[in-house]
Amino acid sequence: MNKALYIHQARGLEVRRDGPSLIIREPDKADRRIPARIISNVVVIGNVRMDAGMVALCAEQGVPITFICSRGKAIAVALPYEYRLPRHHPKQRIFMESESNRRKFELWLRANVRRLTMVCVHNLTGRHQEAYSERPEHEPRAVDYAYLVKQLERTWPAQSRIVREVIDQLFQETIMSVLLANGLDPHVGIIHRYRNLGLVEDLRVFFRPEADYQAVCFFQEVENHEWFDLDDDGYQLRRNGLFAIVERFESRRESIVYVAERLTEQMLRMFGSSVG
């Protein structure tokens, strides 16, 4: 599986193209050479100096780049230019125009979200979830999961928004790379119709419980770390705070990509397209 590349602002750091590879240069450190063919997506955090060749190389390889400011907010996404529409675009458009198809898609997505929510509840509580009809009264439920998320928002209102923004962008970047690799148009959404990156937004609905789970895990550890700075403009994540978010996401990225691939296969069957 190809890897995500994270580039964080640092004094003197520079990223350049060298043939089919990226060269990352930083003062007093050895240059790092990364072949573009092993990169699935790039996340640039803060003000990073890079040449146009680096962006062009990522575009040639079909690798999207997301730019995030030091406060965790996404400011731009660079997508590969393709003068032809993605190969599944026509069937996506036909599927999207039918109201019955949209209802079918929404029911499919809702059922998958319920299953993932129960998995996240299990991960947070360490207890197995029974089916609703057979669940003992003392077992935690989806409502308990919602309580945990609301508690997080009440305890860390400003900080949790920043952390969720970063996590959401990591999911967006990963989902987008899977959709592009499978020939789907990320802009043709079913629920989020007529919106930029509509299909990406549809799948982010599915991954929302996992994003909540990662945010809760982050704040369970925040007491012992200095991960935020406060200035006149509000809170911002320190570099080590961003690293903690990325490290947790990367530890789960392989399974996230696997699930996104399976969801993509199911969508292709719904759209009436062949898988592969």
pLDDT digits (tens, 9 = 90+) for 251-275: 999 999 999 999 999 999 999 865 5
Cα–Cα distance for residue pair 264/259, rounded to 1 Å: 9
From 22, 186, 206, 178, select the one nearest 89 (Cα to Cα): 186
Give CA–CA dist 140/124, Å, rounded. Answer: 10
Q: What is the pLDDT of residue 136?
A: 46
Q: Strands 39-45 and 65-68: what pairing?
A: parallel
SS3 content of the chain, % helix, strand, coil (to 5): 55, 15, 30
Q: Which two tokens stand for residue 244?
A: 């903690």
Contact between 34 and 26 under an 8 Å Cβ cutoff? The reply is no
Are residues 78 and 67 in contact, defined by beta-carbon separation less than 8 angstroms?
yes
Read off the tokens for 256.
């996230």
Q: How many CB atoms lie within 10 A of CB 18?
A: 13
pTM over 0.95: no
C-alpha–C-alpha distance, residues 204 and 26, integer Å: 35
Which residues touch 170 (CB under 8 Å, ≥6 apart)?
43, 245, 246, 249
Q: What is the pLDDT along the chain (276 residues), one digit of tens a residue?
A: 578 888 888 888 999 999 999 999 999 889 999 999 999 889 898 888 999 999 999 988 888 898 988 777 778 888 887 777 888 999 999 999 999 999 999 999 999 988 888 888 777 766 434 434 444 444 445 556 777 788 878 888 888 888 998 999 899 989 998 998 899 999 999 999 989 899 999 999 999 989 988 998 888 887 767 888 888 778 888 888 888 898 999 999 999 999 999 999 999 999 986 554
Starting at the edge strand found earlier in the chain, the sheet holding 74-78 runs 3-8, 39-45, 65-68, 74-78
pLDDT digits (tens, 9 = 90+) for 74-111: 788 888 877 778 889 999 999 999 999 999 999 999 99
